[in-house]
A and B are shown apart, each in its own frame.
Chain A
Amino acid sequence: MQPQLAQLVAAATQEAVAVATRAELEAFKARVVGPNGSLTQVMKGMATLSKEERPVVGKLINEAKKSIEEILAALLVKVENAEIAAALGAAVDPTLPSPDAPAGSLHPLSRTRERILASFRKLGFVVADGPEVETEWHCFDALNTPADHPARDMQDTLYMPKAFRSADAPRKADEAILLRTHTSSVQVRAMLSRQPPFRIVAPGRCFRRDAVDATHSANFHQVEGLWIDRHVTLADLRGVLDFFVKETFGADAEIRLRPSFFPFTEPSFEMDLRSPNLGRLSNRWLEIMGCGLVDPKVLELCGLDPDEWSGLAFGLGLERIAMLIHGIDDIRHFYNNDTRFLRQFA
């Protein structure tokens, strides 16, 4: 019996080498452990053995069976591996570059805008908007700008023809329609439509009749802020701007308020910034934005009682801030859309 079993295991071992597919595996399995398999036949022969022989032979058969099972298990792994390899194809070289395009990127002005808005949101300012084509009333009159103010001049401001009618900025009377010169017009819309107290910040596109050069652009972007409440003070203005500047330019940035003049704020200031982290513009005062307390006349023009309500307002140039943050020296880069520029800020 023993030699017969040993031969059986040796034959199976030899035969197993040729098994490569699942079908061959099944056939092989049938030949050895199937109903008519070689091992099954031997096991059937057990019945003819004597009581004394059985344990000895049984042990031998179990050993042979164990060997066969090991062969089958190894074959199953081999066949599965072959199947997986066939399903997956050749191995991947992980060092090859991905053929897919990388993610795109936001425009540096958008990134800067979102960064600025995020810092004002922390102070409870929410984003407001308004039309880019505005009535002269919203852009100038309601902001206490004298009728003969140079900013209204055809030389400096872009106007639409008399026949032009805007669906978004209908005329109040027969005033001109123009391309807004500042986002301050959103202040007016906010005061007319919202119930104070409120705090808004309004990013948007503005236009001036300027020839394009390194620092001028026919359109540019501003971020306007307005806080209307009871008892808004100069200290509040300083607090808000100080927070914004430290958020945007780092904790070691400092500000100063330099008296200035705007028709819609009183007192009015230019806010200067000084920071050690601005490359060649480090450690000197840089003019960043105009700001002030809302002129009582403006509150009145926008339907708010200046004895009850007060406010602060500010407006900054988005391009200017982006140029400072990133060390960009020419405003035209923002509008050229050369991807070698755009992708630097991803």
Chain B
Amino acid sequence: MKVSFQALARHLDLAGVTAERVAEVLPMLGLEVESVTTFGLAPLPLVVVGEITSFVPHPKADRLSVCVVDVGDGAPRQIVCGAKNFKAGDRVPVALPGTRMPGGFEIKVSKLRDVDSAGMMCSSEELGLGKGEDGLLILTPRQPVLGTPLNALYGAPDTVLEISVTPNRGDCLGIRGVARDLAAALGLTLKPLTVKTAAGLAGAPSAADAVKFVRASSEFCPYYTLRTLKNVQVGPSPAWLRRDLEAAGLRPINIVVDITNWVLLELGQPLHAFDAQKVSEGIEARPAREGEQIVLLDGKQVKLEPGVCVIADAQRPLVVAGVMGGVDAGVTDATTEVLLEAAWFRPGEIRRVARRLGVSTDSSHRFARDVDPAGVELASRLATDLLVELAGAQVVGPAIAVGQPPRADVTIELPAGYVTAKLGTPVADADVSAAFARLGFTVKLSATGFSVLVPSFRSDVTRPIDLVEEFIRIHGTDKVPAGRPIAPLPGDEDALTSVFTREVSARLVGAGFTECCHYSLRDAAELERTLGADQAALVAMDNPLTAEQTHLRASLVPGLAGALALNLSVHADPRGLFEVGTVFRPQADGTVREFLSVAFAIVAEPVTRSWKSREAFDALRAKRLLQDAAALAGVTAVRLSFAAAHGGLWQADHAAALVDRGRAAEGACGVLDLRWTRSLGLKSSVIAGEVCFPRSAFAEARKIPRFEAFSSFPPVTKDVAVIVPVGVAAAEVESRVRQGAAKAAGKEFALESVNCFDVFTGPGLPDGHGSLAFEIRWRHAARTLTDEETNQALGVVIATLEKGTGWTVRR
């Protein structure tokens, strides 16, 4: 809301208080000042009245004129000018060299296309007076004296503060509300508001009224008042009224509309004026009926939703209550009889209707934030004063009121010591009472503390805690010292998701990966690639903003692949990239589950050339990183197995899906689908990995490992090479080796490890076969194993491998 300094000065004596001070004080009251601007002509001592005595076209520029300008100092000067709207003899504002214009631009003696120019003739806009006519501001009709400073022709400038009012402070959507807070903060007294029109309301129209009935039958309009004013002369408003409206950013229309707007700005109470002659019989605030329509003032024809509160006459709806008037009964220059409405509408409903209609008006904005029911009549009387004074209106009697003000002042019992307890620093009772009194609250000391009467204009203050906020606003938050030192609470630990995120990130950073951060919201094509079309539909949003951000991400890999492509396109070596974040995956039961995911991606071929080549990153290195990441989440390698990944993001035969026997982790690693990554502009293949965990995987605290004793005797190692048909998974063979080796050890000694150390296909083996060699290591806890024992054990392994498999152990 725009509030000018002069407007505030109507309500409190601001002598000795600068606009800058006001702009410092208001934010600390909770009234954020978004901008401070000058309204009217800023002090510009070097801008004076000059006369264009003659002018010729600029020799080098069609659009410019070279003018001779007399500013009354006996030394006519040459000024180059781009405007066209003047003639010789016109008087215009001239900014002499040295002037700093309101936009910050400094006027200097200069050359414009090789022609000397000693100053600038100004337009309305250049002077900060708003958008006027095109070209120079022509002062000729005012007949000003040459050389007069322009400021002498204009009033003193005003300062306009644009205030951002929080939703709880409807009272500050009127200048008087802001002034009240300011007065409280500065210790000033709010000037009383004097209204001449008599108070008092009638229950029904009299013969003198322009309507036969006034009714309110909508639940959204508990209180409605209407007043008849006769002999109104509609015309333009006086200069001061227009100025006040313009300072607040409103456009003057006619005296009646301007007065209703002026009162709205002043008190925050919206009013509406009808042309009485266009109103059929009477006025009723009623629910809209099925099929009713209205043409609003903005020209839009809208179908009224049945039940919406409208202000109607005997025949048709005239206004969407509290939101916007219609064209049918508006005040025009021909109007002579005015019906002035002042009412209270339910805030929630006004908010709903305005949003539904897609409009926000000065009126709906205020009604939506709960205007003061006690201010309804006052606003009507203040507007009446002005209509009488400025438009010659004649009052025929009291306003007709239907219903009751829905809220009254409230009394809050504030226990003694409550404010101190909430602030954590002692405050004197007298300070508490004084702060409330300054806000216009009535304070009485009661047996248990304070009894505070809060006027109805502060609908946000209803509880003791609200009074604490009021106190601290006025008392000043800077008076609250920083509190006691605090000690940690024992037993509390960080969420394991956070611990995991930290640890896995450190692991990947150590492996040379750079962390990325991508948007969670992705497009349909990406999700269809990741999940397939059916599943993708399950993570689509209801109201996406753009076509690129329609779905929740199900994988971090597409983002990383995109980042690789982006970096290569800008000639930056991306090296390895990783990301840790939430992904969303449809589950078998139809729900969508959140997973904490870790993913990485790297181009297989190094981007930067090196004098010494290193082994390329491959799918199995990705597997190692994945296993390490899983281990950090408590998913140990023994729980994991890997099977061929198919479809989606991954390249067939070159990627593996991760299977967790504990059914927690999901993931995959290997080469990304080559057609896809090529379509992203990536020439080399991309190796990636992703492992993700449901939130439940982090629910239990990690177990602290227990020490296990180990043998001090040497191990025995035996090698075994197995010839198997191509296509038999290494894990299957290894599993059999383990099985046999464990069986051989029995309870007597222990299998320590099985390690695949050779994979071979080629000459010497039967067609379609390959060989896998494993090193088996056994150890006894209490002695050295004998040759006999280990040879026997190897025999068991060989038998296990060959029995029923068709495999052969090389001997």
Min CB gap A4→B, angstroms? 55
Q: Which residue of B lies closest to A295 (CB)?
A: B465
Asked if A266 and B515 make an inter-chain contact with CB atoms under 8 angstroms apart, the answer reads: no
Q: Which residues of A contact B520 (CB under 8 A)?
A: 132, 179, 205, 207, 219
B35-43, B281-289, B493-501 - interface stretch: B493-501
Asked if A261 and B489 make an inter-chain contact with CB atoms under 8 angstroms apart, the answer reads: no
Is B762 interfacial (CB 8 A cutoff)? no
Is A138 interfacial (CB 8 A cutoff)? no
B95-103, B113-121, B418-426, B727-735 - interface stretch: B418-426
Q: Which residue of A lies closest to B569 (CB)?
A: A338
Asked if A158 and B544 make an inter-chain contact with CB atoms under 8 angstroms apart, the answer reads: yes
Known: A338-B567, A343-B514. A239 touches B572 (CB 8 A): no
User: Which residue in B27, B466, B542, B592 is a CB contact (below 8 Å) of A166?
Assistant: B592
Asked if B465 and A296 make an inter-chain contact with CB atoms under 8 angstroms apart, the answer reads: yes
Encoded as 1 (CB less than 8 Å from any A CB) or 0, chain B from 1 to 39 comes to 000000000000000000000000001111010000000
Asked if A133 and B592 make an inter-chain contact with CB atoms under 8 angstroms apart, the answer reads: yes
Min CB gap A332→B, angstroms? 10
User: Which residue in A257, A335, A340 is a CB contact (below 8 Å) of B518?
Assistant: A335
Asked if A165 and B463 make an inter-chain contact with CB atoms under 8 angstroms apart, the answer reads: no
Asked if B517 and A101 make an inter-chain contact with CB atoms under 8 angstroms apart, the answer reads: no
- A119-148 contacts to B, CB under 8 A, are 121, 123-124, 126-129, 131-133, 146-148
Asked if B348 and A148 make an inter-chain contact with CB atoms under 8 angstroms apart, the answer reads: yes
Asked if B517 and A109 make an inter-chain contact with CB atoms under 8 angstroms apart, the answer reads: yes
Min CB gap A212→B, angstroms? 9
Is B508 interfacial (CB 8 A cutoff)? yes
**A-B pairs under 8 A by CB, number:** 263
Min CB gap B592→A, angstroms? 6
Task: State A153–B580 Cα separation when bound (angstroms).
Answer: 30
Asked if B469 and A259 make an inter-chain contact with CB atoms under 8 angstroms apart, the answer reads: yes
Q: Which residues of B contact A129 (CB under 8 A)?
A: 495, 497-498, 695
Q: Which residue of B lies closest to A267 (CB)?
A: B469
Min CB gap B115→A, angstroms? 39
Asked if B541 and A160 make an inter-chain contact with CB atoms under 8 angstroms apart, the answer reads: yes
Is B547 interfacial (CB 8 A cutoff)? no
Is A83 interfacial (CB 8 A cutoff)? no
Known: A105-B515, A340-B570. A198 touches B489 (CB 8 A): yes
Is B702 interfacial (CB 8 A cutoff)? no
Task: State A149–B481 Cα separation when bound (angstroms).
Answer: 34
Min CB gap A331→B, angstroms? 11
Asked if A336 and B566 make an inter-chain contact with CB atoms under 8 angstroms apart, the answer reads: yes
Q: Which residue of A lies closest to B580 (CB)?
A: A110
User: Which residue in B488, B511, B552 is a CB contact (below 8 Å) of A133?
Assistant: B552
Task: State A340–B787 Cα separation when bound (angstroms).
Answer: 61
Min CB gap B405→A, angstroms? 22
Encoded as 1 (CB less than 8 Å from any A CB) or 0, chain B from 603 to 646 comes to 00000001111100000000000000000000000000000000
Task: State A292–B663 Cα separation when bound (angstroms).
Answer: 42
Is B174 interfacial (CB 8 A cutoff)? no
Q: Which residues of B contact A334 (CB under 8 A)?
A: 517
Is B61 interfacial (CB 8 A cutoff)? no
Asked if A199 and B566 make an inter-chain contact with CB atoms under 8 angstroms apart, the answer reads: no
Asked if A104 and B545 make an inter-chain contact with CB atoms under 8 angstroms apart, the answer reads: no
Q: How many residues of A contact B (CB 8 A)?
A: 90
Is B468 interfacial (CB 8 A cutoff)? yes
Min CB gap B751→A, angstroms? 36
Asked if A258 and B577 make an inter-chain contact with CB atoms under 8 angstroms apart, the answer reads: no
Is B477 interfacial (CB 8 A cutoff)? yes
Asked if A133 and B584 make an inter-chain contact with CB atoms under 8 angstroms apart, the answer reads: yes
Is B587 interfacial (CB 8 A cutoff)? yes
Is A115 interfacial (CB 8 A cutoff)? no
Asked if B482 and A238 make an inter-chain contact with CB atoms under 8 angstroms apart, the answer reads: yes
Asked if A296 and B463 make an inter-chain contact with CB atoms under 8 angstroms apart, the answer reads: yes
Asked if B576 and A104 make an inter-chain contact with CB atoms under 8 angstroms apart, the answer reads: yes
Min CB gap A257→B, angstroms? 4
Known: A106-B515, A219-B519, A238-B480. A266 touches B552 (CB 8 A): no
A25-33, A54-62, A228-236, A273-281 - interface stretch: A228-236
Q: Which residue of B lies closest to A106 (CB)?
A: B515
Q: Which residues of A contact B540 (CB under 8 A)?
A: 161
Known: A124-B489, A129-B495, A233-B423. A96 touches B611 (CB 8 A): yes
User: Which residue in A210, A238, A340, A343 is a CB contact (below 8 Å) of B545?
Assistant: A210
Asked if A103 and B510 make an inter-chain contact with CB atoms under 8 angstroms apart, the answer reads: yes
Q: Which residues of B contact A211 (CB under 8 A)?
A: 545-546
Min CB gap B622→A, angstroms? 15
Q: Which residues of B contact A342 (CB under 8 A)?
A: 514-516
Task: State A299–B566 Cα separation when bound (angstroms).
Answer: 48
Encoded as 1 (CB less than 8 Å from any B CB) or 0, chain A from 235 to 267 comes to 111111011000000000000111111000011
Is A339 interfacial (CB 8 A cutoff)? yes
Q: Which residues of A contact B355 (CB under 8 A)?
A: 150, 153
Q: Which residues of A contact B694 (CB under 8 A)?
A: 167
Is A107 interfacial (CB 8 A cutoff)? yes
- B565-609 contacts to A, CB under 8 A, are 566-567, 570, 572-578, 580-582, 584, 587, 589-594
Asked if A339 and B542 make an inter-chain contact with CB atoms under 8 angstroms apart, the answer reads: no
Task: State A106–B574 Cα separation when bound (angstroms).
Answer: 14
Is B249 interfacial (CB 8 A cutoff)? no
Q: Which residues of A contact B290 (CB under 8 A)?
A: none
Asked if A132 and B582 make an inter-chain contact with CB atoms under 8 angstroms apart, the answer reads: yes
Is A269 interfacial (CB 8 A cutoff)? yes
Lowest 5 A-B CB distances belong to which pairs?
A233-B424, A235-B424, A124-B488, A267-B469, A259-B30
In the complex, besides A161-B542, A295-B465, 5 extra interface pairs with C-beta distance below 8 angstroms are A100-B614, A103-B509, A105-B509, A110-B505, A236-B424
